[in-house]
Structures are given as C-alpha cells and as structure tokens.
Amino acid sequence: MASERATFGAGCFWGVEEAFRCMDGVLSTEVGYSGGDTENPTYEQVCRHDTGHAEVVRVEYDPQKLGYEDLLAKFFEIHDPTQVNRQGPDIGDQYRSVIFYHSDAQRETAEAMKAEIDASRRYPRPIATQIEPAPAFWRAEEYHQQYIMKRGGGGCHR
C-alpha cells in the first residue's frame, strides 16, 4: 500500500491532531513545527516567536480509503480559517492557518477548495489560510504527541 502525506497548521496542534487521528483511513499522525527558519526548534522557542514556525500536524493516510479532499474538508471544519495568527484565545504566528502541500496536485486541490469556500460566503471574512510548499518538518517533543488521546479532555477547537 502506498501512503500519502499531508501537513496542516490550524492553531494548537493538540486538537488538530486528534481530529485527523480519528478519521478512517489515517494511518498515523504526528505534531511538530514547520515553516520557520530554525533547525530543530523547541516548543519554547516557537512560543517565543523566535523561529517563525507554525504548530502543524503531519498526517500519513491511505489514499485508497481517504481522499486529500476529505482531509481538507476536515481542516476547514475544525478551525476558523479567516483568523490571522490566532485561533480562539491562542495568539501568535505559530497558530496561523496554513496548508503545506507535498505535490502540485495537493496545491491545486487546496487552492480550489479555498476559493470555493471563500466564494460560498460560509465565513463573514475572507479565508486567510496560507498555501505553501511543505518545508522541513521538525517533530515536536514527545509529550505533545497524541496529547488529547493520552490525557483525555477536549481540544482547542470549535
């Protein structure tokens, strides 16, 4: 089976990971940092805004069971994509709404869905989600991995 990868930033990565982890067809998830200029950043550095990284979730999925479009639909469902550098009470560039694409097909699909949702007027403000090539992914510290599953409780998202 050939799996595929998708990477999303939609605010605090704990709740984002849990939303994707529970989807049928997702093989694995891991949280980390992407889109900045520091190699192997720590959570503390990212929170100090020293690195430019976003908190992201990397999803490994089976495209025979789950389409990239389904992942994008979940992404747009679990956060407010009109927010710039924030989600709810979480404020900072690490919480930006971003899709890091791994192929031209992912880029095209993400751009089309973003335009479709924007045109639908589903949100009162324009979609602020950034769509960028997938940069290096730095795995977050182990205590962040599957945080909600391990500790219970709700997520950070609506």
Question: Do residues 44 and 146 touch, judged by C-beta distance below 8 A?
Answer: no
Domain membership of residue 157 (yes or no) is no
Q: What is the pLDDT along the chain (158 residues), one digit of tens a residue?
A: 699 999 999 999 999 999 999 999 999 999 999 999 999 999 999 999 989 999 999 999 999 999 999 999 999 999 999 999 999 889 999 999 999 999 999 999 999 999 999 999 999 999 999 999 999 999 999 898 988 888 876 554 44
The tokens for 14 are 């704990």
- The total domain count for the chain is 1
For residues 121 and 65, what is the distance between their CA atoms, to the nearest angstrom?
30
How far apart, in whole angstroms, are the C-alpha atoms of residue 140 and residue 135? Answer: 15
Report if residue 158 sits inside a domain.
no
Q: What is the CATH number of the domain that holds 142?
A: 3.30.1060.10
Q: At 15, which amino acid appears? A: G
53 CB-near residues (< 8 Å, 6+ apart): 33, 34, 35, 36, 38, 41, 46, 94, 138
Is 156 catalytic? The answer is: no
Orientation angle between helical segments 13-21 and 68-77, nearest 10 degrees: 140
Residue 37's domain comprises 4-151
| Catalytic-role residue among 12, 22, 47, 156 | 12
The first and second tokens of residue 120, run together, are 């639908």
